[in-house]
Amino acid sequence: MSKTNRGNFFEDFSVGQVIRHATPRTVTVGDVSLYSALYGTRFAVQSADTFAQDIGYPAAPVDDLLVFHTVFGKTVPDISLNAVANLGYAGGRFLAPVYPGDTLTAVSEVIGLRENSNGQSGVVYVRSVGFNQDGTEVLDYVRWVMVRKADPSLPAPEPVVPTLPAALAPDALGGAVPVLDIEGWRDDLSGSTARFSDYAVGERIDHVDGMTVEEAEHMIATRLYQNTAKVHFNQFTEGQGRFGRRLIYGGHVISIARALSFNGLANAFHIAAINGGRHVAPLFAGLTVHAWSEVLDAQELPGRDDVGALRLRTVATKDQPTADFPLKAENGDYDPSVILDLDYWALIPR
């Protein structure tokens, strides 16, 4: 029996397979501090127990993306250790709040498989679910990833491609947010007076600030999430590879973009769903991330008058300020500066 995890290859997966991932993780105020220090996030609900309690939380909840990265990290040794590329996310929902002291575990189900025509690799679709210590689902999402075959001579499986929603519906949002006492929300402390009704569909916001990334930072972050993907950590190997350097975990870019988005979206305190996301190009240390957002949709939540939902597209670039909202060229190709194109629902007080 091999004691070293070589990771699963494309032929090791089968549709319907359920994988319970290793290493449960108690999330603590230490993790929250590190997350704050790595990204500089300033959303008041996650920053202060008092602010959170004044609107009805028992305490400041853990940042949604820290939850996401922690759950995602658990899936890596089983799902994507032999990945060629992480292709996309869909249908991500934050289902229950997570507080310091909660312990997260993760389970994935293989919901689709499609071998590539070259027979060298295939796309694996998994739905991953994060649980807290009570067995409550706190997060689920679908991702698909291109995984190498160990033995290209093996026959291709019957292709199964799941139908994925373009976006979550408003009635699927808000599970991770208790009904809030919005009277307690203080705009002077949250950093903005702009609330749900102040945002218009089609509005674009340049988040202005830029953040340069260092090797130590993205590695500290990615290890905090217990994400073991080799490409982020091993300069000896990566120095001889495709890019000549370590690749930064795509989730690190999402967190930077989210933190930058405070400047323009200060009251959009909660990511309720990730409709889809694409890591358009890799990021490397020494480069600077900027971001801008567009309001794609604005919806009330059925039965709730405390918060509304903004569907946002947040685009991050490398070494390119975003005052003119770089996205795509006329031929439809992404601007070469774009590294992230993320579609998500954020909740904001009404």
Task: Please give the residues from 94 up to 123 whose contact with its own copies meets the rule CB under 8 A.
Answer: 101, 103, 105
Which SS3 state, helix, strand or coil, does residue 303 take? Answer: coil
281 binds its own copies (CB under 8 A): no
214 binds its own copies (CB under 8 A): yes
Instruction: Kindly state whether residue 77 participates in binding its own copies, applying the rule CB under 8 A.
Output: yes
Q: Which of 14, 49, 181, 183 binds its own copies (CB under 8 A)?
A: 49
345/308 Cα distance (integer angstroms): 10
Structure token digits, residue 328: 């795509």
Cβ proximity to its own copies, 166 vs 216, nearer residue? 216
Rg, the chain, Cα only: 20
By the rule CB under 8 A, 322 interacts with its own copies? no
CA distances for 348 relative to 96, 306, 320, angstroms: 17, 9, 28
Contact window for its own copies (CB under 8 A) among 8-16, 19-27, 114-122, 140-148: 19-27
**CB count, 10 Å around CB of 282?**
18
- Residue 17 near its own copies by CB under 8 A: no
Angle at 110 between CA 277 and CA 27, to 5 degrees: 65
Which residues are CB-neighbours of 112 under 8 A, at least 6 positions away? 15, 123, 124, 125, 144, 160, 161, 162
Q: How far is the CB of 276 from its own copies (least distance, A)?
A: 24
CA pair distance 221, 31, nearest whole angstrom:
10
Residues of this chain, 224-263, that bind its own copies according to CB under 8 A? 224, 226, 228, 230, 233-237, 246, 263
Contact status: 350 vs its own copies (CB under 8 A): no
**What type of residue sits at position 185?**
W
Residue 152 or 239 having the CB closest to its own copies = 239
For residues 99 and 83, is the Cβ–Cβ distance under 8 A?
no
Contact pick of 13, 57, 60, 122 for its own copies (by CB under 8 A): 60
182 part of the interface to its own copies, by CB under 8 A: no
Per-residue x/- track, 287-306, its own copies (CB under 8 A)? xx-x----------------
Q: How many CB atoms lie within 10 A of CB 197?
A: 10
Beta strands in 154-266 (DSSP E): 204-206, 211-212
Using the rule CB under 8 A, which residue among 79, 95, 145, 265 binds its own copies?
265
Would you count residue 24 as binding its own copies (CB under 8 A)?
yes
# chain residues binding its own copies, by CB under 8 A: 83
- Which among 4-12, 85-93, 141-149, 176-184 is the span making contact with its own copies, rule CB under 8 A? 4-12
What residues numbered 127-146 form the site for its own copies, per CB under 8 A? 133
Q: What are phi and psi of 256, to 5 degrees?
A: -65, -45
CB atoms within 10 A of CB 175: 16
Residues between 145 and 164 with contacts to its own copies, criterion CB under 8 A? none
* Nearer to its own copies (CB atom), residue 13 or residue 89: 13
Question: Of 15, 17, 40, 148, which lies in the binding site for its own copies, with binding defined by CB under 8 A?
Answer: 40
